[in-house]
Chains A and B, each alone.
Chain A
Amino acid sequence: MAVSLVPGATPVRRAVLDNGLKMIVQEIHTAPLVSVWCWYAVGSGDEAPGTTGVSHWVEHMNFKGTTNIPSEQMKGIVERFGGMWNGYTWLDQTTYLETAGSSALEQMLFIEAERMANGLYEPADCESERTVIISELQGGENDPDQLLDTEVIATAFRAHPYRHPTIGWLDDLKSMTRDDLYSHYRRFYVPDNATLVVVGNVDAEDVFTAAAKYFGHIPAGPPRAARRAAEPAQAGERRVVIEREGTTGYVKVVFPAPSVSDPDFVPMLVLDAVLTGAKGVNLWSSFRGAPPQRKARLYTSLVEGGVASMVSGALLPTRDAFLYTLSLTALDGVPLETLEGCTVEAIETLRRSGADPAELQRARRQLRARLVFENDSVTNIAHQLGYFETLNASDLLVSLNRRIDEVTADQVWDAARRRLGAATRTVGWFRPAAGGRPLAADGDA
């Protein structure tokens, strides 16, 4: 499709190599930069019990050496061009990126081709990364809000692999073997499961030619069975309470969310903007910093109402139905019953009467602005093109503005009534333990 996320920019161009590698290229010549992302359609949603976290661990291993890039030389390739490199793993995707001066294009494609075909997975490197990842997991658990998030997700899902955290369960991280990692790598890191995205100060024809040179020889993989897990319908409210050392109470209220391909997805985006302010749909950039939300329903009722110090909502584009998450931080001294009660009441009010026209207009305007703000760099634009392609949702990305404009008040009200009821709700509390040991004591030695 010849539509761009950036007004006035050249159209997005697409091609597919014989081995199945999808390529998306956009020329943007406002800065002497290029961003390269290589996406694999595999994430923690494709994992089975026993090897949870394997996708993320494999991502870590792909920063180690390859056949043609010794481990100690990985560092320095893009840095010589002033570049940054990184990667992430989530429910439906594993992705790697480099953004650097545009003269680094060939080096970046070389790294990504090596990653796809020639990872070494040295046993000693696998072992040393095991403890790095366990450290990442434990660092996350230092944050009670993140701990609660993990528990709430695991409570809300019964069957779908979205129920386990992307980083994996600790026992799986302790027991997984090098062969588990390597077989996952070989199964999913094939050109016909990947999308290469290049955005920036490049010539699209040059990119296609160079990509063919670096990736063309990599054979396609064997057929892969599609993910089959389905989540059974929820029959009643679920609940989890964590009580341990802490200073602050947290509440999460979550509901099954529409998948990115569900007709409810865009109405729910508008509904989320009404409740908590619009974020946008860029996992890489939209959730850094608070959204515009001072007129949002939950902000006015909970923060201005004096029961929460912070509210946030998250509706993310996912391949299967994930969760719509409302996160609340209790104001010091406010009982969690009160915070939960006020939250549910605000949701029920919206379900009873719907949103008013001014709220819907505001939500649409916010989303329109956020879709501009979240596409402010070649890195962010390349992320969006690759993320939505990996979800088979590129059509939605380029038509999102129009579809947001077309959402009706009835669609939003209907989504609220059907999707935010008590029977499909999961509620989580983090309650700081009362009494017990002192929170902290300082000592000098």
Chain B
Amino acid sequence: MTPKVASGLSPVRETLDSGAVVIVQPTASTPAVALNATFLAGSLYEPDGLTGLSYLTARVLDRGTERRPAAAIAEALDDRGVSLRVASTRHTMTLSCTCLTEDFDDVLALVIDIARRPTFPDEEIAKRRAEALTVIRQDADNPAVRAAERLFELLYGPAHPYGRPAKGTPDSLGRLTRADLIAFHARRFTPPALSLALVGDIDARQAIDAAERELGGWAGAEPGAIVVPPPEPAAVRRIARIAMPGKPQSDIAYGFTTISRLDPRYYAYWMMNNVLGQFGLGGRLADNIRERQGMAYYTYSTFDATVGESPLTIRAGVDPDNVERTLAAIDGEVAKLGADGPTEVEVAETRQYLIGAIPRMLETNDSIAGFLQACERFGLGLDHDRRLPGLLEAVSGDDLRAAAADVLAPDRAAAAIAGPDAAPGERL
């Protein structure tokens, strides 16, 4: 009855002479292609004192090249219905978009041109800096953002690359010059720092040839790696409160530092986090805080493992009068899972869920491109999607218990609460 159904990815990967890596995955679901060009150019690589440089560079990067003024880029994108995103994270800067198959060659040429030959015009820097300042002002009024930023500062310290504000501050953004952007681009945007994923209705050979054509003649050294320093060991519990008068709801960010994505215990941590705050509609946390106590519309945990010792973060938005009860509930779930580990049923259900979810996570061109970029960055292999079920099968209940015991202890937790109260019971 059923025609052939894709049973896994089969990407083609090639390292070009310039050192750039191109990964192509042809798919047949829609007449479109997802492009994802990732450079190791995140905020981690900012020189001291230039906080926000990666963020501002991302905002100005696509506003003019040696070959195309900003208006020509705007026209090229808009005429094809393409919305180009340039996103800076702690580690990477990614240019990504989806285009119709018929526009693929043009859009690939445009994306590579933007990455390769930006001119950072002064008037564009001025406009995008003003926008960035507005975004920072909006963040300052957003309890969810305030709580998260404060949590990372508590966990890592204000000078650590994971602890400082990734978008910078009004002061630091104000100090950035065109020369800073140009120097950052020259240092971090080189072919050996590029991983280009192309996924969609394309032929792998033709796509690689097209990439080679656009990247031809671009040379540059491999940018140096940066070692992410370990955070200070968490000896004590840390709680910060951010008073935001007039906000109807308080936002809680609670967490720990954990392990690197490269740590062999990664899969046990992933499953442990799923039990804690993901499975179903928010794991044990939601069963308690939302379902049984009716206190929060959202509560969940995330485990975003990257290069350094990465955060496990618990979030909840609650009535200001319920903050202490919610913290107690989080403490309770954290302590219980840390002490007893998950049940055998939870281990089995979580494993079955994560394995079963692989085809869904890899359904769209965009999600496949993101997955292939992670495989490339962490050396997971081109067949990682096929090996993943085995990796999850190999995690034992004891591995999960050990992961929970390693990290989940309320007396070592950090928490930031942003809401109308300056202190428990003290409304401004």
Chain A interfacial positions (CB closer than 8 Å to B): 6-7, 28-33, 63, 75-76, 79-84, 99-101, 127-136, 138-139, 141-144, 201, 203, 206, 244-248, 277-278, 289-296, 303-304, 306, 309-310, 329-332, 362, 365-370, 372-373, 375-379, 437, 439-445
Contacts and interface: CB of A to CB of B under 8 A. Distances in A.
Contacts of A81: 356
B359 interface: yes
B114 to A, nearest CB: 13
B142 interface: yes
A309 B6 contact: no
A130 to B, nearest CB: 7
B319 interface: yes
25 contacts: A28-B29, A29-B4, A32-B359, A33-B360, A82-B354, A82-B357, A100-B360, A142-B142, A244-B246, A245-B247, A247-B137, A291-B83, A292-B83, A309-B130, A309-B131, A366-B81, A369-B32, A369-B81, A373-B81, A377-B29, A439-B244, A440-B242, A442-B150, A442-B240, A444-B238
B324 to A, nearest CB: 12
Contact of A139 (B243, B287, B317, B358): B317
A295 to B, nearest CB: 4
Contacts of A296: 78
Contact of A376 (B4, B137, B360, B365): B365
B425 to A, nearest CB: 12
A130 B167 CA distance: 37
A378 B363 contact: yes
Contacts of A367: 81
B2 A101 contact: no
B265 to A, nearest CB: 23
B130 A370 contact: no
Interface range for B: 35 or more
A127 B291 CA distance: 11
A301 B78 CA distance: 16
Contact of A127 (B100, B146, B242, B294): B294
Contacts of A142: 142-144, 247-249, 251, 317
Contacts of A310: 131
A278 B81 contact: yes
A51 to B, nearest CB: 20
A99 B78 contact: no
Contacts of A441: 242-243, 422
B146 A373 contact: no
Given A135-B317, A295-B78, 9 more contacts: A30-B29, A128-B293, A132-B294, A132-B297, A143-B142, A144-B141, A306-B127, A442-B150, A443-B422
B288 to A, nearest CB: 12
A203 B2 CA distance: 7
Given A80-B353, A445-B239, A365 B294 contact: no
A438 to B, nearest CB: 8
Contacts of A331: 130-131, 134
A445 B74 CA distance: 49
Contact of A135 (B240, B281, B318, B364): B318
A139 B298 contact: yes
B298 A445 contact: no
A243 to B, nearest CB: 11
A229 B134 CA distance: 41
Give the 8 A-B residue pairs with the shortest CB-CB distance, closest first.
A82-B356, A369-B81, A128-B294, A294-B74, A75-B280, A136-B297, A245-B246, A82-B357
Given A442-B240, A443-B423, A29 B279 contact: no
Contacts of B246: 244-246
B79 interface: yes
B264 interface: no
B377 interface: no
A80 B297 CA distance: 24
